[in-house]
C-alpha cells in the first residue's frame, strides 16, 4: 500500500492548501507599504482571535520565545511569581523565571489536573508580593484546560498580572483576553492558527504596560517597547519572517470567515467525538476536566505506550503524539485543534484501534469509530 502520512499531533497541525501555497510566492521586501499592509492585516486578524483591543506583536520565534518575552518584559530582579504547574508547559514558566533569578512559588499539580480559582486566591492571599500569576490555557502535554476566566476574576482584584500561555488553546477554546482580564496573552502559529511553526504572538493589557515601564530584566530581541515603537510604523523592530506572516494572514482570512464562535463549537464536537471513542474502548481520559484542544488517554495495562506510538507512526503513518517526559509511555494524545475535520478524528481512533489490537489489547474493531460517528452525525450541520 501507499503509505500516506496523516498528521494528527497537537502542533504542528495540518495547513490548509491555500495557506501552504502562500509561502511559494516570490518574496517581497519587509520595509515597503505592500508588506506593511499585509503585516497590519495579520495584526488585525490576531486581535480578532485574541479577542483584544490591544496590539498583538508578531515574533520570529517558537512559542517558548514568546513565554520568555512575557517574563523579561514585565518582571524585575527579585520579583516573586505564582506559577501553576500541571504539565510540561506549566513547568516551563517556572524554568524561564528561574533562569532570570525570579522567585517562583509553584502550585504543583499532577499531570492532567487543573487548578481551582480558590487555590489561586489562597496563594495570592498568603503571598501578597506576587507580581504575576503564570498559567496555561490548554496544557498541551495533558489536554487539560484551565479556568482562565476564574483566575482573571481573582487576579484583577490584585496588583499582580495574569499571564496566560495560550499557545495551543487560543482559537480552539474560548479565552477572550480583554473580557477575562488576561494581562499578557501569548500564542503560536503552528497550533490553531493553521500556519507552519516559526511565529509567536504576544499582547499586553494596559496594566501590563505599566509594569513593562518599570521592568529591570535585561532584554533586546524580545523587547516589548521596541515592538511597540515599530508597530507605530506598521512593522516589527527586526526583520520579520515575511513568508510565514503572509501564510498567517491567509489563514486568518479563513478563521475570520468561519468566525471564532463556529470554531469553538467545531472543536467541541471533535472533542466530544474523541472522548466518546476513547471511552467506548474502555480507556481512561487523563485530563479532569478534559479540554477540546486534544484528548489524552491512558495506555491500558500490559501495553507499551512508546511502542504503540512508534508502530502507529511507522506502520500506519498516523502521527499521534505520545506522552512527554517524565511520563513517556503512559498515555497518548489525539489532537483536535487547528485545521482538523471529523474524519481526522475517525482516522486517529481507527489507527489507535488497529494498533492496540495488534499489540494484543482485546477490542472489537470499530467500537471507538462508531461511538465517534454517532456524535459527529448528530452535529454534522
Of 152 and 188, the one with the shorter C-beta distance to a second copy is 188
At closest approach, how far in Å is the CB of 219 from a second copy? 6
What whole-number distance in Å separates Cα of residue 242 and Cα of residue 108?
Answer: 39
Smallest distance from a second copy to CB 337, Å: 14
Closest approach of a second copy to the CB of residue 142, in Å = 17
Nearer to a second copy, 225 or 260 (CB): 225
Whole-angstrom distance, CA of residue 89 vs CA of residue 103: 18
Rounded Cα distance, 155 and 162, in Å: 6
- Report, in Å, the least distance between residue 275 CB and a second copy: 23
Nearest-approach distance from CB 284 to a second copy, in angstroms: 25
Cβ-based nearer residue to a second copy, 22 or 123: 22
Q: Choose between 97 and 154: whose C-beta lies nearer to a second copy.
A: 97
Residue 250 CB, nearest approach to a second copy (Å): 12
What's the start-to-end Cα distance of the chain, in Å? 34
Contact residues toward a second copy (CB under 8 A) are: 5, 7, 9, 11-15, 20-21, 23-30, 32, 60-65, 68, 95-96, 99-101, 188, 190, 196-198, 217-223, 237-244, 313, 319
- Residue 318, SS3 per DSSP: strand
H or E element: which one contains 357?
Answer: helix 342-358
Q: Assign 3-state DSSP to the chain and report helix, strand, coil percentages, each to 5.
A: 45, 15, 40
Which of 224, 276 has the CB closer to a second copy? 224
Tell me the closest approach of the beta carbon of residue 274 to a second copy, in angstroms: 19
Please list, in sequence order, all residues whose beta carbon lies within 8 angstroms of the beta carbon of residue 286, skipping any fewer than 6 positions away: 111, 112, 142, 143, 144, 296, 297, 298, 331
Sign of CA dihedral 148, 150, 153, 157: negative
Do residues 170 and 137 lie in contact, with contact meaning Cβ atoms separated by under 8 Å? yes
CA 239 to chain centre: 25
β-sheet with 103-108: strand ranges across: 56-60, 199-204, 184-188, 161-165, 130-136, 80-85, 103-108
For the record, the C-alpha cell of 287 comes out as 485530563
Cell 474524519 locates to 343
Grid-cell match 487576579, residue found: 155
Min CB(22)–a second copy separation in Å? 8
CB of 376 to a second copy, least distance (A): 23
C-alpha cell at 267: 472543536
Nearer to a second copy (CB atom), residue 92 or residue 275: 92
Is 80 or 219 the residue whose CB approaches a second copy more closely?
219
Torsional sign, CA 46, 267, 16, 241:
positive
Closer residue to a second copy (CB): 32 or 259: 32
238 or 264: CB nearest a second copy: 238
Amino acid at each position: 500500500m501507499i503509505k500516506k502520512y496523516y498528521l494528527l499531533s497537537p502542533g504542528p497541525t495540518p495547513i490548509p492548501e491555500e495557506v501552504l501555497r502562500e509561502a511559494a510566492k516570490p518574496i517581497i521586501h519587509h520595509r515597503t507599504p505592500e508588506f506593511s499592509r499585509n503585516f497590519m492585516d495579520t495584526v488585525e486578524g490576531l486581535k480578532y482571535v485574541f479577542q483584544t483591543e490591544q496590539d498583538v506583536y508578531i515574533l520570529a520565534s517558537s512559542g517558548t520565545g514568546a513565554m520568555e518575552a512575557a517574563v523579561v518584559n514585565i518582571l524585575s530582579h527579585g520579583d516573586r511569581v505564582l506559577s501553576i504547574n500541571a504539565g510540561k508547559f506549566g513547568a516551563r514558566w517556572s524554568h524561564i523565571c528561574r533562569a532570570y533569578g525570579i522567585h517562583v512559588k509553584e502550585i504543583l499539580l499532577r499531570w492532567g489536573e487543573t487548578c481551582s480559582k480558590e487555590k489561586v486566591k489562597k496563594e495570592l492571599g498568603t503571598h501578597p508580593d506576587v507580581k504575576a500569576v503564570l498559567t496555561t490555557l490548554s496544557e498541551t502535554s495533558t489536554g487539560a484546560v484551565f479556568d482562565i476566566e476564574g483566575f482573571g476574576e481573582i487576579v484583577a482584584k490584585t496588583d499582580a498580572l495574569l499571564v496566560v500561555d495560550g499557545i495551543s488553546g487560543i482559537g480552539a477554546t474560548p479565552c477572550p483576553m480583554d473580557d477575562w482580564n488576561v494581562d499578557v496573552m501569548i500564542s503560536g502559529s503552528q497550533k490553531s492558527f493553521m500556519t507552519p511553526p516559526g511565529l509567536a504572538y504576544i499582547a499586553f493589557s494596559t496594566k501590563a504596560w505599566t509594569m513593562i515601564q518599570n521592568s529591570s530584566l535585561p532584554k533586546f530581541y524580545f523587547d516589548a517597547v521596541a515592538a511597540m515603537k515599530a508597530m507605530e510604523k506598521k512593522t516589527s523592530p527586526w526583520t520579520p519572517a515575511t513568508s510565514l506572516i503572509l501564510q498567517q494572514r491567509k489563514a486568518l482570512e479563513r478563521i475570520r470567515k468561519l468566525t471564532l464562535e463556529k470554531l469553538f463549537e467545531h472543536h467541541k464536537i471533535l472533542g466530544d467525538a474523541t472522548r466518546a471513542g476513547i471511552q467506548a474502548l474502555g480507556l481512561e481520559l487523563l485530563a479532569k476536566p478534559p479540554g477540546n484542544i486534544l484528548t489524552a488517554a491512558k495506555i491500558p495495562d500490559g501495553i507499551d505506550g512508546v511502542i504503540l506510538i512508534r508502530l502507529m507512526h511507522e506502520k500506519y503513518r498516523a502521527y499521534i503524539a505520545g506522552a512527554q517526559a517524565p511520563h513517556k509511555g503512559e498515555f497518548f494524545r489525539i489532537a483536535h485543534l487547528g485545521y482538523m475535520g471529523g474524519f481526522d478524528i475517525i482516522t486517529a481512533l481507527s489507527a489507535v484501534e488497529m494498533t492496540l489490537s495488534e499489540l494484543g489489547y482485546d477490542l472489537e474493531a470499530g467500537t471507538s469509530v462508531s461511538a465517534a460517528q454517532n456524535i459527529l452525525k448528530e452535529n454534522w450541520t
